[in-house]
Amino acid sequence: MIELEDVSVSYGDRPVFGDVSLNLPQGSFHFLTGPSGAGKTTLLRLCYLARRPDRGRVSLFGEPAAALDRDGVSALRRRVGVVHQDCQFVDHLSVAENVLLPVMVSGGDVAAAEADMKDLLSWVGLDHAAERLPTELSGGERQRAALARAVILSPDVILADEPTGNVDWEMSLRIIGLLVELNKLGKTILCATHDLSLIRQVKSRTSARVLRLRSGALELAGSDL
Ligand SMILES: Nc1ncnc2c1ncn2[C@@H]1O[C@H](COP(=O)(O)OP(=O)(O)OP(=O)(O)O)[C@@H](O)[C@H]1O
C-alpha cells in the first residue's frame, strides 16, 4: 500500500533520518514510536505525499510518487486519511462541516455525504456535538472528530499522528479501539505515538507491529518495548 525505499530527509543541513525503508502491506497495523523529534511526523508526511524525500523513493498503491503530477498526487492522497497531531480544524466551521471538508475539497457530493457524516459522528460518539465549533470540544472529542474527518472519504490507509495526545487513559483506549475497528474492516493503519503502555495493551490483543524511529534509523521493535 505504502512503500518507502531508502528515503532520507533533512531540514537545511540537519538530517532527520537517512536510508529508511518501510513497507505497509494492505490491512496491516503498525505503531510508529520514538523519542520526540525523531521524525515521526516527517515520516508520516512522506507517506501522504505532503513532503518529498531528499533521496529515495516513495510509492503509494504501487505508483511511484516521483512520477505523479499534481492531479495524480491529489488522487492518491484521497485514498489516505490523516489524523493530524494538532487536528487542524477550521475553527469557524461546525464539527459537521469540518468532517465534510474533505468531500468539499475533493469536489464530491456534500449533500450525499451527509448521511455518512452523521453515521461517522455517531460511531465516534459525537452525535451531540455536530453543530458545535471545534473550539467547544474537549481534547478527546477533538481527536474523535478528527478521526471521523479522516475516514469520510473511505480511505484505504489511515495515518494517525499522536491521536491520543492530551487525553486520559480511558479515552486513549477508546480512540485506539476505533483504529482497531477500522483495521478489522481491512484498513491499513500507521499510528505514531509516544505511549508505550498503550502500544503494549493493543499489541497483546492484535497483530499490530511496532516500528521505532531513533537516531535517524527505523527498526522493527521486538519484545524489548
Ligand atoms: N518544517 C521544519 N523545518 C525545520 N525543522 C523541522 C521542521 N519540521 C520538523 N523539523 C525538525 O525535524 C525533526 C523531526 O521532527 P518531527 O516533527 O518529524 O519529529 P517527531 O518525532 O514527530 O516529534 P514529536 O514526537 O515531538 O512530535 C525535529 O528536530 C524538528 O525540530
Categorize the per-residue pLDDT at 202 as very low, low, confident or very high, splitting at 50, 70 and 90. Answer: confident
pLDDT in tens, 34-80: 999 999 999 999 999 999 999 999 999 999 999 899 999 999 999 99
Residue 223 has pLDDT above 80, yes or no: no
Fold topology of 1-79+155-225: Rossmann fold (3.40.50)
Q: How confident is the model at residue 224, as a pLDDT? A: 67
Instruction: Provide the mean pLDDT of the chain.
Output: 93
The alpha carbon of 37 and the centre of ligand 1 are apart by a number of angstroms equal to: 5
Q: Would the pLDDT of 17 be above 70?
A: yes
What number does the ligand 1 atom closest to the CA of 44 have? 18
Q: Report the separation in Å between the CA atom of 99 and the middle of ligand 1, taken as the mean of its atom positions.
A: 27
Give the separation between CA 45 and CA 161, rounded to whole angstroms: 10
| Residue of 8, 13, 41, 82 best suited for mutating to test ligand 1, as the one with most atoms within 8 Å of CB | 41
Count of residues for the chain? Answer: 225
CA–centroid distance, residue 36 to ligand 1 (Å): 8
Domain ranges of the chain: 1-79+155-225, 86-154
38 CB under 6 A from ligand 1?
yes
Distance 128 CA to ligand 1 centre (A): 35
The answer, yes or no, to whether residue 225 has pLDDT greater than 80, is no
Q: Ligand 1 atom 18: the closest Cα is on which residue?
A: 39
Q: How high is the ipTM of this complex?
A: 0.96
pTM of the model: 0.94
pLDDT tens by residue, 84-103: 988 899 999 999 999 999 99
Q: Is the CB of 44 under 6 A from ligand 1?
A: no
Backbone angles phi, psi at 151, to 5 degrees: -110, 5
